[in-house]
Amino acid sequence: MLFKVYIKKCFRIILKVVFKFDWWHTSPIENRDYANDIIKRASDHEPKNIVLEIGCGLGDIISALDFKNRFFFDISENVLEAARFLKFFRNFNSKSKDFFQVFDLFSNSIDESIQCDVVIMVNWIHAFDSARLAPKIENLVNTNMRSGSLLIFDVIPEKANETFSGKTFHHEIEDLINEKYFEVEVLEDYRFGRSIVIAILI
């Protein structure tokens, strides 16, 4: 297993050199327990028409999901090009339609016709203040989700003993969503004190 992870890491470093994306995308999914738990929870969700991941990076999570339509959104055009390239090495039998789009949550909007069954936003929102995030998430929920849709995001609580490099904003769930509109489950005990929030829109 360790040898496999090492090979994947080396391959991603080569991709980084070719496509010139940020270094943190080189981490293989095997190093991220939370990612595998997200895949499991999203895979169990019905229906499986549209899944959208904002900040998808190389697409490790969304590429593992068997949905009719998969929307890969990221702020980096370079990493999206690499994710599109990796598509040729993944899920050869997949019948999913994949859409890749450069997207900035704070300046772009999502077409109302994209009604998501699952929305995923992980491993980047710790870099932004909840005062900026919350209204954008609320708009996303109101515009592109419906009753029964699943919203998955992560939080790094103040009590976390480890921190990321650079500025880390410590969010609580109520900082980002109005919990009275969701059924919320929290998965805990990940590295950096990360918690994964599984929120079903009521």
Residues 27-41: tens digit of each pLDDT: 999 999 999 999 999
State the pairing for strand pair 116-121/145-155.
Answer: parallel
| pLDDT value of position 166 | 61
Query: Do 25 and 13 touch, CB atoms closer than 8 A?
Result: no
Tens digits of residue pLDDT in 178-187: 999 999 999 9
Written as six digits, the tokens of 30 are 């095997």
pLDDT at 3 over 70: yes
Strand partners for 97: 69
- Encoded amino acid at 109, one letter: S
Model pTM score: 0.95
Rounded distance, CA 53 to CA 120, Å? 5
Residue length of the chain: 202
Q: What is the CATH number of domain 32-201?
A: 3.40.50.150
